[in-house]
């Protein structure tokens, strides 16, 4: 499982360590488009002090401007990747061009087609902020994705699973292509959103430190389970017994989601070495979107709809929703998302997909407990759902003089705004105490709120 960057990628990596400003992108520009993004960390066999990180991204081809050629046309997209460490230092900064060609310009405008790619790097274990930006060279279209990334440390001895890469499809491929690992071509799903049309969620992971010796038991076990976001088991796909190929193994499989309701789910992989009984776990969140039918739109889902759109719906819309009958609510839900579709030409509603991704992120990172699943209802969750990933986060740990606090900076929102959160009680719940954003709480003496000790 030795990692090797393709030669062309190595050249780009060396050139782009220069200090390059980020591509200018405004999330509020009408010409902006959404970038799906995800990542997965694996053991770096070439350098055990680091982890090998794959960063996946996707965007819709329809948003690109194609330059006519003799046969069809070509679109060029300038990509930029920037990685910051916890202190805000630039760890990596690179740019590259990607091209896509079509044989029929009219077909390119009509057919929905996602451009999917990945970049690779090695990072030391820790927390990072990753920004991916795309700029259509032939038009004003721009896109940006931000991720908070936790690079895990891999033990040389303990049974351990890598992160899980979820995918649209996996098929045998013996070439050395970009998406090929362990003889399989893995087409990633950077958005983590699936529909029932595909019917399957595929995934890839790696298992390390199996006991492999002539006297050891030659098998290990795998179990795949799907949970809801509060940890309740939705489906157990049973136990599989595998023969050890060595002290490491790859996990390649898929699950059928045809009978699953729409919503957020967690894929859980459990591995067990039958020699030692030692177990390892890894989880990955994904979302299923399906069209609501009369049978699906039950009272609980109606209640959840109001919760899900609480920050983006107007008071008038919520009042109207309450007054409608069952049939009216069905039509209201469809119309609510349709009105917010930034690109009606595509079958997906990109705004809806991004909105539920933000809710999922908020519940994962800002909930009081793993079981409470209430991160959406926190101050940090609300700000994240409304405005997305910050341009940068300033984290301040507790000292004798100050409580833990964070400042989230959004450089491209209203010319630059910030939000200050304080953990006033020491329980990890951060409250918004000040912002310069219009309509948010403002306290000119907010610095007094971060001081340690009793408040007046």
Domain ranges of the chain: 1-154, 155-289, 390-456
Quick one: tokens of 145? 């994705």
Residues 358-413: tens digit of each pLDDT: 998 898 889 887 777 889 999 999 999 999 999 999 999 888 899 999 999 999 89
Banded model confidence at residue 13, pLDDT cuts 50, 70, 90: very low
Number of C-beta neighbours around residue 267 at 10 A: 20
What angle is formed at CA 224 by the lines to CA 221 and CA 226, rounded to 5 degrees? 160
Banded model confidence at residue 21, pLDDT cuts 50, 70, 90: very low
DSSP-derived secondary structure letter, 182: T
pTM of full prediction above 0.75: no
Q: What's the CATH code, domain 155-289?
A: 2.60.40.3880
**Parallel/antiparallel/unpaired status of strands 32-34 and 73-84:** unpaired
The domain 1-154 is classified under which CATH number: 2.160.10.10, 2.60.40.10, 3.40.50.10800, 2.40.340.10?
A: 2.60.40.10
Residues 251-306: tens digit of each pLDDT: 999 999 988 988 889 999 999 999 999 999 999 999 998 765 545 545 666 778 88
Identify which of 144-153, 328-337, 360-369 has the greatest average pLDDT.
Answer: 144-153
Q: Is 80 exceeded by the pLDDT of residue 24?
A: no
The chain-wide mean pLDDT, for the chain, equals 86
SS3 of residue 295 by DSSP: coil
- Listed residue (386, 379, 381, 421) closest to 404, CA to CA: 421
pLDDT computed for residue 308 by the predictor: 92
Quick one: tokens of 45? 């066999």
Q: Is 60 exceeded by the pLDDT of residue 204?
A: yes
Round to whole Å and give the CA distance between 429 and 426. 7
Q: Give the residue-averaged pLDDT of 67-81.
A: 91
pLDDT computed for residue 368 by the predictor: 83
Domains 1-154 and 155-289 share a fold: yes
Q: DSSP H helical segments within 367-452, as ranges?
A: 379-387, 446-449
């Amino acid at each position: 499982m030795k990692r090797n960057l393709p030669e062309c990628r190595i050249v780009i990596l060396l050139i782009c360590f220069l200090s390059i400003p980020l591509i200018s992108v405004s999330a509020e520009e009408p010409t902006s488009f959404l970038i799906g993004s995800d990542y997965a960390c694996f053991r770096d066999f070439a350098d055990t002090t680091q982890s090998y990180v794959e960063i996946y991204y996707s965007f819709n081809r329809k948003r690109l401007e194609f330059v006519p050629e003799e046969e069809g046309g070509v679109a060029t997209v300038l990509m930029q990747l920037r990685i910051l460490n916890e202190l805000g230092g630039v760890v990596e900064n690179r740019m590259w061009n990607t091209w896509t060609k079509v044989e029929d310009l009219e077909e390119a405008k009509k057919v929905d087609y996602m451009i999917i790619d990945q970049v690779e790097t090695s990072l030391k274990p820790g927390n990072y902020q990753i920004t991916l930006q795309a700029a259509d060279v032939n038009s004003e279209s721009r896109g940006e994705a931000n991720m908070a990334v936790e690079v895990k440390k891999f033990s040389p001895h303990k049974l351990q699973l890598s992160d899980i890469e979820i995918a649209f499809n996996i098929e045998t491929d013996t070439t050395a292509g970009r998406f090929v690992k362990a003889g399989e071509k893995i087409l990633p799903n950077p958005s983590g959103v699936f529909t029932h049309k595909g019917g399957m969620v595929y995934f890839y992971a790696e298992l390390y430190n199996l006991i492999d010796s002539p006297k050891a038991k030659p098998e290990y076990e795998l179990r795949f389970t799907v949970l809801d976001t509060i940890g309740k088991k939705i489906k157990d796909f049973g136990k599989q017994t595998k023969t050890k190929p060595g002290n490491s193994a790859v996990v390649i499989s898929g699950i059928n989601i045809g009978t699953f309701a729409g919503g957020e789910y967690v894929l859980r992989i459990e591995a067990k070495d039958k020699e030692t009984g030692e177990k390892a776990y890894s989880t990955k969140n994904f979302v299923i979107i399906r069209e609501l039918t009369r049978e699906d739109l039950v009272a609980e889902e109606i209640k959840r709809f109001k919760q899900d759109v609480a920050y983006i719906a107007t008071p008038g819309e919520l009042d109207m929703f309450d007054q409608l009958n069952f049939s009216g609510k069905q039509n209201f839900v469809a119309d609510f998302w349709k009105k917010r579709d930034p690109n009606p030409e595509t079958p997906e509603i990109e705004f809806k997909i991004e909105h539920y991704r933000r809710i999922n992120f908020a519940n994962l990172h800002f909930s009081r407990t793993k079981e409470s699943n209430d991160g959406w209802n926190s101050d940090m969750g609300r700000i994240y759902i409304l405005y997305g990933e910050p341009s940068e986060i300033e984290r301040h740990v507790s000292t004798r003089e100050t409580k833990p606090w964070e400042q989230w900076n959004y450089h491209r929102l209203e010319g630059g705004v910030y939000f200050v959160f304080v953990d006033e009680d020491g329980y990890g719940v951060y409250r918004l105490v000040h912002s310069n954003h219009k309509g948010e709480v403002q306290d000119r003496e907010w610095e007094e709120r971060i001081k340690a000790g009793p408040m007046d």
